[in-house]
Amino acid sequence: MGRTVMSNRIELSPRDREDAVRLLTLLLGEGGVEDQRRNVSLTHLARTILDARRRRAEIFNPTMFGEPAWELLLTLFVMDREGPRLTIGRLAEIGGIKLTTALRWLEYLEDQAFVQRERHPNDARTAFIELTDKARKALRVYLSGASVPIL
């Protein structure tokens, strides 16, 4: 009697494999528990800075404190650990930045090798945006040296 074997195997794209490695590295850590605690602490600090900046924008005229590139970098840093990949439109929305302003600053950040775009697999009109390793390292160095949150 012939027997059908069901495969539980899932085919992963190269991007899916990269995401799985990044997730497992975040969960298991390359540098152990202390590195993970430090990363969580830095993410928390970045989240605190973002929350304070948003509160400030609710009280004062937001145009007084325009730093869209910093807002984009901090948002990507936090979402790198806490959330899903972001499209450019969603990043602009979360950051409270006009899409045209976000696009202009993302182009600059891309030229500086702080962000990279990846085409959306199902929608040619948009792309995902993410931090580069260079940006992650720079943000970790910056946030590690911050004794008081700099808004």
Dump pLDDT digits (tens) for 102-147. 999 999 999 999 999 998 888 888 889 999 999 999 998 888 876 5
Q: Does 7 reside within a domain?
A: no
Neighbours of 100 (CB within 10 A): 9
pLDDT at 37 over 70: no
Report helix, strand or coil for 81: helix
pLDDT value at residue 65 = 76
In a domain, 64, yes or no: yes
Total of domains in the chain: 1
Other CB atoms within 10 Å distance of the CB of residue 44: 14
Q: Which residues pair with 129 in a beta bridge?
A: 86, 117
In a domain, 131, yes or no: yes
| Host domain of residue 87 | 14-144
Domain assignment of residue 9, yes or no: no
CATH of the domain at 63: 1.10.10.10
2, part of any domain: no
Name, in order, each residue with C-beta under 8 angstroms of 114's C-beta and a sequence gap of 6 or more: 73, 131, 132, 134, 135, 138
Q: How far apart are CA 131 and CA 46, in angstroms?
A: 14
Alpha-carbon distances, residue 130 vs 4, 56, 93, 121, 136 (angstroms): 43, 26, 15, 15, 10
Single pTM value for the model = 0.68
Q: Report yes or no on 95 lying in a domain.
A: yes
Report yes or no on 93 lying in a domain: yes
Q: pLDDT for 22-35, tens place per residue?
A: 666 666 555 554 45
Quickly tell me which residue has 């602009």 as its tokens: 92
Q: Is residue 129 part of a domain?
A: yes
